[in-house]
Structure 1
Amino acid sequence: MKVRTFVAPIATLMALGGVAALPAPTHAVTSVTVKVFGSQTYGGTTNFVGTTGTAGVTVSGITCTGLTGGAAIAPTLTAGGTYTIDGATCSGGVLNNPNYVIGSYSGQKLTVNKATIGVTADNASRAYKDDNPTFTFSATGLKNGEDTSVLTGAPTITTDAKSSSVPGDYAIKIFRGTLGGGDNYTINSFTDGTLTITAKPITVSVTGIQVYGGTPVWTASTGIAGLSVSGLGCTKLNDGRDVAPTLGVGNTYVLDTTTCSATLSSDYYTIAGFTSNRFVVQRAELTVTADSKSRIYGFNNPALTYTVTGLQNGETTAALNGAPDVTTTAVVKSNVGDYPIEVKTGTLSSPNYRFTLVDGTLTINKRLLTVTANPATRGFRAADPAYTATITGFRNGDTIDVVTGAPAFSTTATVDSSPGVYPLSVAVGTLDATNYGFTGFVGSTLTISEAPAIITTKKMKLGVIEATVTYGATNTPVVGSTITFTVGSSEDVACTAVTDATGRAACTVSGSIRTGISLRGYTAHFPGSPGVLAGEQHQGIF
């Protein structure tokens, strides 16, 4: 409807809702009714459009705040609803022609369109061997602080990853499924997410065993078949002490598992932490060995001693308590041979060691006797005498009776050796004894003296007197020696003769010499020869 009128003064126009920005015209203007239409996307702002119904006359800048029925125009209006703008809430319209003024606003339809949203599968993660989590999704573009609960149905979300899939990234695929936008949304895109499979965290149970003074041997349990641990080690106990060779024997130690480290045999797992099963320090083994000894038969046993090996941490036997018992069955009169030296624990003890006892041997060696050759004598060209020796050094009241066999003797003298002194050597020969040996052989001398002459005579027969001269045990003849015969025991020479190969010397006497011999007998005088003493033999008349 168009109304032609004169324009009142500005003050009057302002009171009537006119356009104050226009200068007060001095001519008539036409009033128009503006039809107002609105449109908005759910959750957004409203765009108002007005029409004047007059060709060439347009309007802009309209804003409206309410709907018929009293409801406000707001972002929360449901899409697709039937709404009518309350023209009385409109204002701000500006016409492009100063010859027209807005008389009133006529509210028309307000259209609310659905908002467009995108749906994305939420990224997710899980550990190796775990079940896949429940997959979720999120939407971008939701309005008015709403969340996905305003949507209907649900998308289909899947992945190719299985529980056994190795660590890595896997696509989370999202499809529409039954998902709808509800009253206010249109879904225009679906974006996949990522499932990240991480190494599975596990707790490793640690056990340590250490021999006192040594280094720990570590074992671990992962609780997973086929999964092993290498490079395992812990450095401290939970009381702050170091895991060290000096820890005393005990089975109540607890490890500070924050100081443990190890490497798993599979990258599909990771160590989240350690638990201390136990840490045990066992006794170290000491070897206590009876020292082997030796002594000579007939003497007291030596002091029996022992040696300890295997001490740890620089310790000495001062770290031990008590002492072992070291004994032997051998006594002073025990025969030559080997006897056990037995070692027993005795009072020996230690909190950190256990003992392995090793017996020793007491060897009783033969007592060495001194064999001294006794001086010997024989005559020239006589047979050697039975040599003898004196044996000294017996112990335990033993005598020569414990010795068997005989020593061997030797000399440089021969049967033809001239009278004189010759060395007499002695050696072991067949000497033997259970508890004795023989050494320190001391030689002596063999003295060869001149042999006494053996002179035999016979009764004169037919004027022949004779003497046979021999010497030695075998009556060796003295050959070529001149024998002087005297009458009776006088010095009156009757005759002389030289001994033959048999040692016989004979001569014939006559006259008064024969008569004298017949009455007094005769004496054969031997002057001596090399090795044979001079001698004489009287032959009577019988």
Structure 2
Amino acid sequence: MKNFTVKLAVVFINTSVVWCGSNSLLAPGDTLIRDGEVRNRVYGDPPFTLSNNIVGKTVVYSSSDTTVAAVWGNTVIIKKAGTTVIKAEIPGDTQTTKNFIVYKKQLTVTTPNVWRVQGTANPKFVVNITGFVNGEDESVLISKPVAFCNANAASPPGEYPITITGGSAQNYSFWYDNTSKLKVVGVALPDDSWRVSLSPNPASDKLTLNGVEGPFTIEIIDLTGTVRMQEYQTQPVIDISHLPEGIYLVKIKDAVSTTVKKLIIRR
């Protein structure tokens, strides 16, 4: 009886495992999977093609977890964020595997600047989320990010940072833009605020102040806390035609008191 010797080589290349059978024709420098093709892939990336430099033989590709990435021929289709193993095989000859990580897609989370009057509660902070892929929207989130501000009704006038935090998702991570501010306006509604009224309200081009005593100053402040108009007046009819549609805070100071009213401009 003759003795036969079978040689089996195991080669480790860049964390990949290459199995070469005894009759393998894989030569030094031959590549079944190119490293760059399976790196830095993110959920939402389009399908991509695997390539090799093998001549005269068919390379068959597969994925160990088709819920993360499926392989059709030599095309990889990303399904979700996670980790799988891509295998390249020359049937009956050689195979190699590489870990393939699909990273989460980053979403950008913002909230607008807002304002309120001193002594009142904080407004509801609206969170805007952008960057979804594959036609998805906020409905795919496990939980949504939230925004909050440490200012309270007793906080003095000034600007306070709004902080965004939280949120979770299978295929998305979050980047928070925490540059927005809550502006607390240093005015409060006096007990005699009923004395002065605005008409019409909503208004379009002209606004009449009813009940003012003598000359007065008027400030009109938009929702960002920006003073859009400031004038000294002796007549109760004010031209507001230059102001865009929206909701405003009107601060009126006459000989009796300072009054704050809400104004809606609509055209």
TM score, norm. by length of structure 1: 0.27
Give 2:45's aligned residue: 299
- Closer, same or farther: CA 206–326 of 1 in aligned 2, 3 Å: closer
- Closer, same or farther: CA 211–490 of 1 in aligned 2, 3 Å: closer
Partner deviation per Cα, 1:330-375 (whole Å, 9 max, x = no partner): 66561223345243326xxxxxxx6242444433221010111221
Q: Which residue among 259, 262, 265 is the counterpart of 1:535?
A: 259
SS at 1:384 equivalent: coil
Instruction: Return the alpha-carbon distance in structure 2 between the equivalents of residues 210 and 341 of structure 1.
Output: 28
Q: CA deviation at 1:396?
A: 0.8
Q: Which residue among 337, 345, 353 is the counterpart of 2:82?
A: 337
For the pair shown, the structure with the greater C-alpha radius of gyration is 1
1:258-269 equivalence runs, <5 A:
none
Instruction: Return the alpha-carbon distance in structure 1 between the equivalents of residues 183 and 124 of structure 2.
Output: 13
- Closer, same or farther: CA 283–212 of 1 in aligned 2, 3 Å: farther
Q: Which residue among 159, 162, 170 is the counterpart of 1:421?
A: 159
Instruction: Return the alpha-carbon distance in structure 1 between the equivalents of residues 212 and 154 of structure 2.
Output: 34
- Closer, same or farther: CA 208–392 of 1 in aligned 2, 3 Å: closer
Instruction: Return the alpha-carbon distance in structure 2 between the equivalents of residues 525 and 210 of structure 1.
Output: 106
Partner deviation per Cα, 1:401-458 (whole Å, 9 max, x = no partner): 222433233446443333233322222x2x1222111124343111111334242499
Instruction: Return the alpha-carbon distance in structure 1 between the equivalents of residues 98 and 131 of structure 2.
Output: 29
Q: CA deviation at 1:395?
A: 0.7
> What amino acid maps onto 2:145 in structure 1?
P
- Closer, same or farther: CA 452–360 of 1 in aligned 2, 3 Å: same
- Residue 395, structure 1, aligned to residue 133, structure 2: yes
- Closer, same or farther: CA 377–332 of 1 in aligned 2, 3 Å: farther
1:58-207 equivalence runs, <5 A:
none
Q: 1 or 2 for the larger relative contact order (CA 8 Å, sep ≥6)?
A: 2
1:241-252 equivalence runs, <5 A:
none
SS at 1:455 equivalent: coil
What number of residue pairs does the alignment pair up? Answer: 178
Structure 2 unpaired stretches of 5+: 10-21, 64-69, 196-210, 215-253, 261-267
- Closer, same or farther: CA 358–383 of 1 in aligned 2, 3 Å: same
Determine if contact 1:298/1:395 at 8 Å carries over to the other structure: yes
Q: CA deviation at 1:397?
A: 1.2
Give 2:217's aligned residue: none
- Closer, same or farther: CA 212–455 of 1 in aligned 2, 3 Å: closer
Determine if contact 2:213/2:256 at 8 Å carries over to the other structure: no
Instruction: Return the alpha-carbon distance in structure 2 between the equivalents of residues 283 and 300 of structure 1.
Output: 37
Determine if contact 1:455/1:535 at 8 Å carries over to the other structure: no
Instruction: Return the alpha-carbon distance in structure 1 between the equivalents of residues 177 and 213 of structure 2.
Output: 55
Give 1:447's aligned residue: 183
- Residue 406, structure 1, aligned to residue 151, structure 2: no
Q: Which residue among 112, 125, 129 is the counterpart of 1:374?
A: 112
Partner deviation per Cα, 1:145-188 (whole Å, 9 max, x = no partner): xxxxxxxxxxxxxxxxxxxxxxxxxxxxxxxxxxxxxxxxxxxx
Structure 1 unpaired stretches of 5+: 1-204, 214-281, 307-316, 347-353, 459-466, 468-487, 492-523, 528-533, 537-542
Structure 1 vs Structure 2 CA RMSD: 4.3
